[in-house]
Amino acid sequence: MLKVPEHQVAGHQAHNGQLGPLIDDSGRFYKPLQDGKRGSKELAFYESFSSNPQIPDHIRRYFPAFYGTQLVEASDGSGLRSHLVLEDLVSKLIHPSIMDIKIGSRTWYPQASEDYIQRCLKKDRETSSLSLGFRVSGLQVYAGKEAEFWKPDRKLAQKLGADEVRLVLRKFVSSNPSADPDSNPDGSFTSSVYGGSGGILAQLMELKAWFEDQTTYHFNSCSVLLVYEKEKVLKGDSGVEVKLIDFAHVLEGGGVIDHNFLGGLCSLINFITELLPKEDEDATKTFQDNHKICNGMENGH
């Protein structure tokens, strides 16, 4: 029995007769193939990536597992439709805190139609994409049994400025997230979630090292998904995961480094590094050299 995902924070959602993804009870995520070239491009990427022997195993873990395609009843009632069958990234979590971050200062690409380019340019300028190299597409943070999830409006999240992004990144790892602008998030899980050898920062650094070399793909308009569960963190089992998602606009790299994605990833790394407590020297020292490289990229060096 397929059902609507409970913990989707961005993208098209299968509510009120709309077309969107579905999930089952076995840990699989059914994403409807988009019309036109988008659907065929995303399928082509998954088929290429899953069979590419040049992709290291330690990088594959940052991508959802791909199980092919399947005809299932579409959520909008239009009948059978081909869906990508992917790993449900939060199927094993009860109260996942999730942040979807679209990477890159531009979400368009030269080969796209003029209409698509203009629409992307408008949104990139209206959001933090152009200024920061990434934008928050949506998030939810588990606030506890009484308040459940703090889930700010997606359109507001996308238009955050630099200081507001810092605040949201801090709220994401706080036990007291709130919509109140005067509230002071405690950041109590900052070191557990962002720091350490298995934390978000270490995983982003591993991805960054790959993007500094890989020239096979250009990841236009893709997102990084940050996921953790508060209960696991409190037990000392961080369960922190970083995943790349949304590949409808991936193009062949043609032997050229994907500077657009790499630059946005560097910017996100800088923002997260700034949040680590100063006394957490062991955690931050590992990243200092790479942090300088990221700054150099942003400043055009």
pLDDT digits over 52-64, tens only? 999 999 999 999 9
Residue 277 has pLDDT above 90, yes or no: no
pLDDT 10s digits, 101-122:
999 999 988 888 899 899 999 9
Q: Which two tokens stand for residue 69?
A: 């395609």
Top-tier CATH class for 96-298:
alpha beta
Describe the crossing of helices 288-298 and 200-211 by its angle, rounded to 10 degrees. Answer: 60
pLDDT digits (tens, 9 = 90+) for 171-191: 999 988 876 766 788 899 999
Helix ranges (DSSP H) in 54-143: 57-60, 114-126, 129-132
Residue 176's pLDDT is: 83
CB 267 within 8 A of CB 132: yes
For the chain, where do the domains classified as CATH 3.30.470.160 start and end?
Answer: 96-298
Q: What is the pTM of this model?
A: 0.90
3-state helix, strand, coil in the chain (%, to 5): 35, 20, 45
Backbone angles phi, psi at 226, to 5 degrees: -105, 125
